[in-house]
């Protein structure tokens, strides 16, 4: 019965995770293959963190298989403002380096955990290619020296990133089976004009789904083929253990890791220092005004702010109040809106002034 | 005298200030460094604390403090030229300077 077997899997897993340094069990000598039962990007990233921090990978590498419901995932040192302007999709920052990817259930994620010494991305990617070719020999797939996997020599079907810790390391990659390419391209192509930063850039690529090449392929088939190849190469059972990323008994401390990954401080606050230099037009009654804004943002907070308005359009005292309250606050539309709705109480009851104020603040918020 | 940790960071102490960097072995293993994430001046570190990260074409790699102390200076040149870590890991590619709280460490 399905329920019983997954319970059994979870129990086996808890024994493995609790006594990592104990003797090997026959099913886990030489390696372990686990798959997440969750599609939540934060929970799954937390599992990666947990394995990296707690498991002894000496002679026992781990392959972790996971899929997420729609989300954009940026690299450790990327700038989310620079890359993505859509607010209605989940955004996560992973701990590995590299660029931005879009995940949905048509994309599979593979994480290869090893000791730092045994870290070897090319080997892992060749394993994936071997699995794909074993499944469909006619597929033209190969690994580039940028660690991408290309289909038909031109379409990217997999991107790679990695993290090297003290003793452990992991290499993870995506694999496009049947992802929504329309959403992918619309979410990932939104450059922010006027933003200067030395954050890790993202290199856009032409992508294709394996499903488009061969409609008989499914995510399940790909996962299974890769697990089988991994098992063969590590001489272990072709057995996939299911893992529940919310289970504190198997993964003590996991829920704190999941929470941390969702904090504003992690997702936005970890952005390398950047500056904005931009201008916008205010259309007010019959005139169009030019406003120039310069800001330095560090740890996601406005460190320096300068707003250039046409003289006397707003009383200078009010303008400097705005600059003062923005300085030190989060570069975040919610926070700015909260600030700007309280400020007008200090200024005289003048509806003309209020509408000018609101117009300016609205535009400021749109920059974030 | 330059001392090495098992994670391939080095520290060289002079006048009670330690300069920290990564070893030649480490920079070679990392590949070309494209970004250095370093702490704020004044950050207090304990031995083995994660104080930053280096991102290279290969991976994001955490940096661990070799000693306990307070960060007094960070290498600003790395912001525009992270490759200094590869080219000159023992000289111009230094990462941070810190006080040495416990010389015994």
Q: Is B77 part of the contact surface with chain A (CB cutoff 8 Å)?
A: no
Please check whether residue A30 is in contact with residue A60, taking contact to mean a CB–CB distance below 8 angstroms.
yes
B31 domain residue, yes or no: yes
Q: Among residues A225, A242, A268, which one ends one of the domains?
A: A268
Please check whether residue A189 is in contact with residue A241, taking contact to mean a CB–CB distance below 8 angstroms.
no
Q: Which residues of B touch A121 (CB under 8 A)?
A: 58
HEC assignment per residue over A227-271: HHHHHHHHCCCCCEEEECCCCCCCCCCHHHHHHHHHCHHHHCCCC
A225 and A346 part of one domain? no
Q: Which domain holds residue B55?
A: 2-100
User: Rounded distance, CA A165 to CA B46, Å?
Assistant: 18
* DSSP 8-state assignment for residue A207: B
> For the whole model, what pTM was predicted?
0.87
- CATH number for position A72: 3.30.930.10
B105 domain residue, yes or no: no
Q: Among residues A218, A234, A268, which one ends one of the domains?
A: A268
Cα within 13 Å of Cα(A148), Cβ side: 19
Q: Among residues A224, A242, A268, which one ends one of the domains?
A: A268
For B19-57, write each residue's pLDDT tens digit.
999 999 889 888 889 999 999 999 999 988 889 999 988
Q: Which domain holds residue A354?
A: 274-367
Which residue from A95, A169, A200 is facing B35, i.e. has the nearest CB?
Answer: A200
User: Rounded distance, CA B60 to CA B31, Å?
Assistant: 11
A263 and A290 part of one domain? no
Q: Which of A15-19, A246-250, B48-52, B55-59 has the highest mean pLDDT?
A: A246-250
Contact A97 B60 (CB under 8 A): yes
A5 domain residue, yes or no: no
CA-based radius of gyration for chain B: 12
* DSSP 8-state assignment for residue B57: S
Contact B80 A169 (CB under 8 A): no
Average pLDDT, stretch A122-129?
97
A166 and A303 part of one domain? no
Q: How many domains does chain A have?
A: 2
- CATH number for position A356: 3.30.390.50
Q: Is B90 part of the contact surface with chain A (CB cutoff 8 Å)?
A: no
A354 and A262 part of one domain? no
User: Rounded distance, CA A254 to CA A46, Å?
Assistant: 6
Average pLDDT, stretch A346-355?
74
- CATH number for position B80: 2.40.50.100
A27 domain residue, yes or no: no
Contact B58 A272 (CB under 8 A): no
A50 and A185 part of one domain? yes
| A349: three-class secondary structure by DSSP | coil
Q: Where are the beta strands (DSSP E) in A137-239?
A: 141-143, 149-151, 155-158, 160-164, 168-176, 195-197
């Amino acid at each position: 019965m399905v329920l019983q077997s997954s319970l059994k899997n979870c129990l086996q897993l808890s024994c493995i995770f609790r006594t990592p340094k104990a003797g090997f069990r026959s099913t886990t000598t030489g390696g372990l293959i686990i798959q997440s039962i969750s599609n939540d990007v934060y929970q799954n990233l937390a599992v990666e963190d947990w394995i990296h921090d707690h498991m002894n990978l000496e002679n026992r590498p781990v392959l972790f298989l996971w899929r997420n419901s729609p989300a954009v995932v940026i690299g450790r040192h990327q700038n989310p403002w620079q890359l993505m302007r859509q607010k209605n999709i989940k955004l996560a920052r992973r701990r590995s380096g590299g660029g931005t990817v879009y995940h949905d259930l048509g994309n599979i994620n593979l994480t290869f955990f090893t000791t730092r010494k045994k870290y070897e991305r090319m080997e892992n990617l060749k394993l994936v290619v071997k699995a794909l070719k074993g499944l469909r020999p006619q597929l033209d797939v190969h690994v580039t020296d940028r660690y991408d996997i290309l289909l038909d020599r031109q379409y990217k079907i997999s991107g790679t990133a990695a993290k090297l810790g003290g003793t452990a390391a992991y290499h993870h990659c995506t694999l496009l089976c049947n992802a929504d390419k329309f959403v992918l391209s619309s979410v990932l192509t939104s450059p922010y004009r006027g933003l200067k930063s030395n954050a890790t850039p993202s290199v856009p690529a032409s992508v294709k789904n394996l499903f488009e090449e061969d409609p008989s392929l499914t995510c399940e088939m790909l996962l299974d083929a890769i697990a089988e190849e991994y098992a063969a190469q590590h001489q272990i059972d072709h057995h996939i253990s299911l893992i529940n990323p919310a289970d504190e008994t198997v993964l003590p401390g996991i829920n704190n890791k999941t929470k941390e990954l969702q904090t504003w401080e992690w997702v936005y606050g970890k952005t390398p220092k950047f500056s904005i230099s931009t201008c916008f037009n205010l259309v007010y009654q019959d005139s169009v005004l030019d406003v120039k804004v310069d800001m330095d943002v560090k740890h996601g907070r406005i460190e320096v702010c300068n707003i250039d308005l046409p003289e006397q359009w707003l009383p200078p005292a009010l303008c400097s109040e705005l600059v003062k309250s923005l300085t030190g606050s989060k570069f975040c539309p919610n926070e700015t809106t909260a600030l700007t709705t309280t400020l007008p109480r200090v200024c005289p009851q003048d509806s003309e002034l209020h509408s000018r104020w609101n117009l300016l603040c609205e535009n400021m918020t749109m920059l974030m | 005298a330059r001392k090495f940790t098992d994670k391939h960071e080095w520290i060289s102490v002079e006048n009670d200030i330690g300069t920290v960097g990564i070893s030649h072995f480490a920079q070679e293993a990392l590949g070309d460094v494209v970004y250095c994430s370093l702490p704020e001046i004044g950050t207090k570190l304990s031995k083995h604390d994660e104080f930053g990260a280096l991102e290279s074409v290969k991976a994001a790699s955490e940096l661990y403090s070799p000693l306990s102390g307070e960060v007094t200076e960070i290498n600003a040149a790395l912001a525009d030229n992270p490759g200094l870590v590869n080219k000159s890991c023992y000289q111009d590619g230094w990462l941070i300077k810190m006080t040495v709280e416990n010389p015994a460490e």
